[in-house]
Structure 1
Amino acid sequence: MSGTYRMATGAGPGLRPVVTTSDGWSAQLVPRLFAPPARWGWQAAPVPVPAATLAPPPPRPAWTEPPRPDTSALVAARSKAVSRVLWRLAFAVVAAFAFTTYQLVIEQQVGEFGDSARQVYKVTLIVVAALLALGVIRAVGGVRYANRNIHNFEQPYLVLRAAEQERHRQALQSWERVSRQHTSDAESTARAAAAAASGPRWYPVYPASEPIRVDVFGGDPRRLGWASLLVTAGASLLSAGHRITVLDFTGQEVGENLVKVAHAAGMPTRTLRLDGHEVADVQLLSGLDPREIAECLGHALTGRQDGDRREERALAIDLLRRVIGSLDGPVLFARMAAGMRVLRQGTGDGLLSDVEIGRLAAHLGDVDQTEWTTRQLGYLAHQLDLLHEVAPASVGSSLWADTRVNLIATEGGRGDRKEQIDRTLVRLARTAMDGRRWISEFLVVAGADHLGAAELQMLSEHARAAKVRLVLMIDQPQGDLEKSAGLGGAVCFMKLYNHRDASVAAEFIGKEHRFVLNQLTRQVGSTFTDGGGDSFAANTSGSGNSKQRRSGTPGRPTGLSDSRGHAWTGTRNWSNADNVSTSTGSGRVYEFKIDPEQLLGMPETAFVLVDNSGQGRRVILADCNPGLCQLDRVSAVPAR
C-alpha cells in the first residue's frame, strides 16, 4: 500500500457531511442507503494514470531503384560489332549476287584456259566463300562477345537489385506488422481510457469478516464524522435486519441522524434523553432483581479510575443490598438515597414508610459508624439523588426497547451527574447482556473516553460473551485505550487534531519498506586537442644500357636515364568533446504507511480502516459521507 493517500477529486464539494434535520433529505437518502451491499463508507477509485501517447508508426518504406552501371562503352562496342556483321553480310550478299549474275561468263572464260584453270577456279571459289563465311561468323562472334561483356558487367548490379528488392519486401512486411500492432495498441488504449472514464468512482468499504468490536478513534469537535459513520454503516446494518442501540455520551446528537433515516425508511425507533432537562418516561432498573440492582449500582457508583476502589465497592454493594431489602414499594433512586440517609442516622425525607425506616434502623448496628463509612453513605446518597434527577419515574418503559434503533442520549460536559449516568448506563448494559435480556445485535457507545480502558474492556468481554457486536467511538487513542485498540479486529481512525494522537495512530496503522531517491550526482566535462606534423622526402635514381660485342666485351652505351623526386606532406588534426553524466541513487527506508501529518489533515468524514478481521491486514482510506450514495458511478461491489 502506498505511503501517500489522498481523497479522489470530487470527494467532498457539494456534499453535506451528515444528514441534516430535513426529513426530505433523509427520504432522499433512504433508497440508496438501504440498498445492498453492506458498507461503512466508500473508497475512492484510483485516479487513472494518463496513458502514454503512442508514437506514430514509421512511414511506409518506399522503393528506390539502385543506380545502374555505365555500360555506354560496352553498348558502343556491341553496336560496332553489329555494324560489322551487317557490313560483312551485305558484302557477302552483294558478292553472291554478283557471282550469280556473272557465273556463266566467268566459267566460260575459265574453261577456255583448260582443266587446270577450271580446278584453280573451283578452289578459288571455295576459298572466297569460306573467307566470306568466316568473316560473317567472326562478326557474329564479336556481337556475342559484346553481349556477354555487357551481361557480365551488369551481373553485380542485378544481384544487388535483387537483394534490395528482398530487403524492401521484408521491410514492407515488418512495417505492416508494426502498423497492425500500433492500431491494436491504439484501440486497447482507447478502450481502457473509455472504461476508466465511465467506470466506478466509488467502491463500498467493509471489513473482510464480521468484527466483534470496532474502535473508532478521532473525529472532529462537532462529531460530524461520527454521525456520518453511524448513518452510513447503520443503514447497511438495518437493511440486513439488525437492531442497533446507541449510547450517545457526547451531548451533540450523534445518533439523531440515524434515527431520522431509519424513521424515513418506516422502521420503529425510539429516542430517550437522560439529560435532566425533562422527565424521561423510562424506568432504568426495570426487570432487575435486588441482587442485580445492588451489583450494578455498586460498580457504577464507585467506578472512578483514580485509585483502588474495591473497599468502597464492597461497602456500596452491601449497603445497597440492605437498603433494597428493606424497601416494600418500588425501588427508585430517591427512595434508595433516603435509605442511605437513614443508615447515616438521618430521616427518610418522607419517601419511606415507618415500616421501611424500622427495617433500616435494625441494620444500624451492622454498619460501622465510622467517619469513613459516614462519608461513603453521604456520597452514595448524593449520587443516587443525581440519578433520580435524570430518571425519577416510578413507572415507564424499559431502558432497552425492542425497536430497530434505540437511541439513549445523555447531556454533554463532564459533571458528576453526567459521569454517573454514563457509568450507570454502561453497567446496566453489561447486566442486561449477562442476564440474556439484551435485545439489539449492535451496541454503539459514542464518547466513551471518560469511562476508562478497564471499564470498556470489561464491556467488550461481556459483549463478546453475549454475541453482541460493540462499536466504541473514542476521541483520543492515548493511555490504556491505546493498549486495547484493535482487539476486536477493526479500527477506524478519523480526523485527529493532536500531534501525539496522530503519531499513535500512524504507529498502529504500521510502516512499510520503500525505495526513495537519496542521491543525485551530475558531472559536466569538456576536452579539446590540437596537433599537426610535416614531413619531406627526396630521391634520385639513374640507369643506363649498352650492346655487347661478339667478342664478349661491352660496347658503347646506347641509352641513359636519370630521375629525381620530391615529396612533402603536412597534417593537422583537432578534436572537441563535451560530456555530461547524471547518476541517481535510491535507498530502502522503513517509513509510516500514512504520515501523522496526513491524519491531521483528513476531511471530517474520511477515515482509515485498519481491518485485521480476516486473513491478512488491510489498510483502506474511505469516506463515510452518506451523501456519496447519491453520486453517479458508485459501484455495488468492493474494489479488488
Structure 2
Amino acid sequence: MAVQPQEAAIRRHRLFYPRPPQLGWEFRDRWRSYRPFPHPEPTPPPMPAALLERQRRAALVLLDRREDAKRWGLSSGGCLVLGLVFSWSGTAGAVARLLVVLGLVGTSIVGVRLLIARWTNSSLDGRVATAGQQVHADHERRLAAWQAAKWAHERAEQQRVNALADYSAVCLSAGCHRLDLFGGSPDSWSAFLVVHGTSLLTAGPLVVVDLTRAGVCHELAVEAGAAGVSTDVQVFRPAQLPVSDLLLGFEPEELVDLLVEAVHGRDPGAARHERLADRRTLKAVVSALGDDVSLKRIVAGLRVLANEPDHELILLPGERTRIADEVMSVENRQRAGAGIARLIDHLEPLEDLGAQAAGGRAVRLDCLVLGDAHTGSPGETLAELLVRAVSHRVSRSASGRPTSLVLAGADRLHLDHLEQLATTCRRSGVHLVLLFEHLRDAGTALAGGAVGFMRLKGHREAQAAADHVGKDHRFLVSQFTRTLGGSRTMTTGESEGWSSSSGVSATEGTSWSTGSNTGISHTTQENAPLGRGTTTRSAGSSRTTGGSRSTTTSRTTGRSGSVSRSEADGENWSDAASVQRVHEHVVDPTEFQRLDDHLMLLVEHRGGRREVRSVEFPLELLDLPRVAMTPFPDHPGLPLPAPALPLLTDGGTGAHRGAAHPYDDPEGVFRA
C-alpha cells in the first residue's frame, strides 16, 4: 500500500519520538488489566436476636394464658353458677356466697392475665415489624450506596482501560548495551533497522556497517533524511572508492596496523611471523613516502619492492629510488617476496580508496555499505577494513565517537574480531547491535547481552535457538502481525477501509421480602369430667426473609480493517489489521522456522531470571490508534486500593446514625 505523504509524516514523527532504544512493540490485551469492583454485594443484616426471642416467649405465654383461661374459666364459671343456683334456692347461703366469690375472683384473675399476655404479644409484634422495616430500609440504603460506588468504579476503569494502548514499545533493560540478533531476511532487517535505528538516532550519532550487499540500511537512511537528520551513505563500489573518507584521520602507524589486520582478518590463526613481516614491510614503505601517505601510494611502493613497473607514475623518482635501494636489502626483499605479493593481491583492488576524499563532515547517521562489486578475497578484505576503521573510530576521543553501532552481516567476520569489537564498544560506552544471518555454533557463545531470534532457516539452528530460549516458555503474537506475514496479494488500483464498533449494556434488578407468623392451636375433650379432661396445645412462631438481585453487564468492542495495493510487477500483498485476538505459541524448533517476517523473540536476563518476549516491528503498526512509543509499566495490572464509599446517613440530613442495634454498621458498609 502506498503511504500518503501525510501518513508518512505522522509515521516519521512517531519514529523520531525521543525514547530509549526501542526494538519494536509488544501486544498486551488492555482489558486484562481491568480491575473488578473489590467489594462484595452487601447482604441483608439479621433481625435483633433478643427481640425475636422476646416475641417467641410472649407468644408461648399468650398460649399458656389461653389454655389457663379455658381450664380455670370453666371452674370459676361453674362455681359462680352453683353459687347463684344455691342463692336462688335459698339453701346453703354461706356456701352459695363463697362459690359466687370464688367464681368472680377466678374469672377476674384469668381475664386479667389473658389481657396482659395479649397486650404484651401485640406490642412485641409491632416492635418486630418496625425493626424489620428499619432493617430493610438500611439494607436498601447500603445496596444503593454499593451500586453507586460499583458503577462509579466501573466507569472509571473503563475510562482508564480505554486510555491504554494495545501495543507498547519494547526497550532493552537499563544497563544493557548489546544486542545479538540471529536469523531473519533482508526485509526483516530493514524494517527492524527503521524502528530501532530511529530510536538510536534520538540519543546520538549512529554508525551502520552493512556487509549484507542487500542495502538493509536504505530505508533507515531515507526516513532519517526525510526527517532532516544529517545523513551520509557511502556505498563501497569501485566507482565510489576514491571519494570515501573512511581512512581520513589515521596516523601512518595506525594505518599500517589497520591494513595488516584487514589482510589477515579472515585467518586469525595465521603465523605470527607472517603478520610481523607484513607489518615491517608496510612500515618501511610508509616511512619512505613521507607525509603524503595514501593507500594508492602504499600499493605503488609495494609494487616497487616486487620489481613491478609503475605505469601511472604515482611515486616520484626519488621515492621510487629510496624504496628500491634503502627500504630493504636484496636479501630481505627476496625473503619477504611472498608476503609482498600477498599484500599487493589484497590491497591492489582497493588502492583507490580515499584517493579524492575531502575533509569528513560530522553527520548524525553514517551508513557504510559494502557494494556487490567486490567479491572473493578483495571483498573480505574490504569488509574487514570497514569494521576495523569503525572500531578505531569508536575507540577515539568522545568528541568524534558515535553513541551506537550497528553491524549487519556479522557472519562475514571472525569470532575473535567480533569479540574485540564488542570489548571496544563496551569500554567506550557505545551501544552495539550485531545482526547474524545464521546461528552458528559460535553465535551462542558470542552472545553477551540481549539476544533476539528471527526466522531461522535450518533445523539445527532452530534447535539451538530453542535450547537457548528454553522449551518451557510461551509467547504471544497478535493477529495483526500474523496476517501481515502470511499471504501477499496485489490487485489493480488502491483501496482502504476501516470500521470499529464498541458498546456497553447493563441490566439490574432487585427484590426483597420480610415476614413473620405466629400460630396457636388448642384442643379440649368436651365429655371429660371437670378438671380431668384431655387438653392438647401447641404454639409456633416463624419468620421468613428472602431476597434476590441480578446484574448483567456486557461489553463489546470490535475493530476491523483492510488495505490493498497494486504494483506493476504483479506481486500480491494484503494487509488486515486486527488487535482482538492473539496466537499463543510454545517455544519449539519448528516455531523458529515459521516466525513471521516482522517478529522476533527477545531473550533478556532480568533480576536473575530469563525473560522471553515477542517483539513485533511492522511499520504498519504506526497507523493504528492504540500504539504507544513508550514501554508498558512493569506491572500494569496491580490492583489499586479499594475506593472509599460514602457512609450511610439518616434521611439525607447528613448526620451519621448511631449504632443503636447490632445490625447498624456505619463504618463497615459492606460487613454482612
TM-score, normalization by structure 2: 0.62
Which of 216, 225, 236 pairs up with 2:199? 236
Letter in 1 for 2:329: G
- 1:217 corresponds in structure 2 to 181
- 1:141 corresponds in structure 2 to 106
**Using a 3 Å threshold, how does the CA distance of structure 1 residues 350 and 498 change in structure 2: closer, same or farther?**
same
2:319 corresponds to 1:325: no
- 1:492 corresponds in structure 2 to 452
- How far is 1:297 from its partner? 0.5
- 1:11 corresponds in structure 2 to none
- 1:196 corresponds in structure 2 to 161
Letter in 2 for 1:500: R
- How far is 1:272 from its partner? 0.8
> Distance in 2 between the 1:407 and 1:25 partners?
26
CA contact (8 A) 2:247 2:354 kept: no
> Distance in 1 between the 2:253 and 2:3 partners?
43
**Using a 3 Å threshold, how does the CA distance of structure 1 residues 23 and 192 change in structure 2: closer, same or farther?**
closer
- How far is 1:293 from its partner? 1.7
- 2:393 corresponds in structure 1 to 432
- 1:316 corresponds in structure 2 to 278
**Using a 3 Å threshold, how does the CA distance of structure 1 residues 82 and 27 change in structure 2: closer, same or farther?**
same
Which of 595, 605, 612 pairs up with 2:598? 605
**Using a 3 Å threshold, how does the CA distance of structure 1 residues 494 and 406 change in structure 2: closer, same or farther?**
same
CA contact (8 A) 1:446 1:474 kept: yes
- 1:348 corresponds in structure 2 to 310
- 1:418 corresponds in structure 2 to 379
Say which one has the larger Rg: 1
- How far is 1:45 from its partner? 2.4
Number of corresponding residues: 507
**Using a 3 Å threshold, how does the CA distance of structure 1 residues 153 and 469 change in structure 2: closer, same or farther?**
closer
1:429-468 → structure 2 map (5 Å cutoff): 429-436=390-397, 438-468=400-430
Q: SS of the residue aligned with 2:25?
A: strand
> Distance in 1 between the 2:623 and 2:29 partners?
20
Letter in 2 for 1:499: H
TM-score, normalization by structure 1: 0.64
Which of 616, 625, 628 pairs up with 1:623? 616
- Which is worse superposed, 467-476 or 596-605? 596-605
Which of 216, 219, 229 pairs up with 1:254? 216
**Using a 3 Å threshold, how does the CA distance of structure 1 residues 85 and 39 change in structure 2: closer, same or farther?**
farther
- 2:650 corresponds in structure 1 to none
> Distance in 2 between the 1:196 and 1:505 partners?
36
The CA deviation string for residues 493-516 of structure 1, in whole angstroms up to 9 with x for no partner, is 3333333333433444458799xx
- 1:639 corresponds in structure 2 to 633
- 1:357 corresponds in structure 2 to 320
> Distance in 2 between the 1:23 and 1:179 partners?
55
**Using a 3 Å threshold, how does the CA distance of structure 1 residues 275 and 200 change in structure 2: closer, same or farther?**
same
CA contact (8 A) 1:85 1:140 kept: no
> Distance in 2 between the 1:443 and 1:57 partners?
59
- 1:409 corresponds in structure 2 to 369
Letter in 1 for 2:216: V
**Using a 3 Å threshold, how does the CA distance of structure 1 residues 484 and 401 change in structure 2: closer, same or farther?**
farther
Letter in 1 for 2:185: P
Letter in 2 for 1:505: A
CA contact (8 A) 2:168 2:632 kept: yes
Q: SS of the residue aligned with 2:329?
A: helix
- How far is 1:613 from its partner? 8.1
> Distance in 1 between the 2:345 and 2:594 partners?
44
> Distance in 2 between the 1:427 and 1:320 partners?
17
The CA deviation string for residues 440-478 of structure 1, in whole angstroms up to 9 with x for no partner, is 222221111111110111122233344433222222332
Q: SS of the residue aligned with 1:397?
A: coil
> Distance in 2 between the 1:22 and 1:186 partners?
43
- How far is 1:244 from its partner? 0.8
> Distance in 2 between the 1:491 and 1:479 partners?
15
Q: SS of the residue aligned with 1:326?
A: helix
CA contact (8 A) 1:302 1:312 kept: no
1:52-71 → structure 2 map (5 Å cutoff): none
CA contact (8 A) 2:171 2:631 kept: no
- How far is 1:217 from its partner? 1.8
CA contact (8 A) 2:181 2:435 kept: yes
Q: SS of the residue aligned with 1:356?
A: helix
Structure 2 unaligned spans of 5+: 475-584, 635-672
Q: SS of the residue aligned with 1:260?
A: helix
1:530-541 → structure 2 map (5 Å cutoff): none
RMSD: 5.0
> Distance in 2 between the 1:21 and 1:199 partners?
26
**Using a 3 Å threshold, how does the CA distance of structure 1 residues 482 and 129 change in structure 2: closer, same or farther?**
same
- 2:13 corresponds in structure 1 to 31
> Distance in 2 between the 1:216 and 1:245 partners?
16
- How far is 1:347 from its partner? 1.6
- 1:45 corresponds in structure 2 to 28
- How far is 1:361 from its partner? 1.9
- Which is worse superposed, 250-259 or 167-176? 167-176
> Distance in 2 between the 1:266 and 1:513 partners?
42
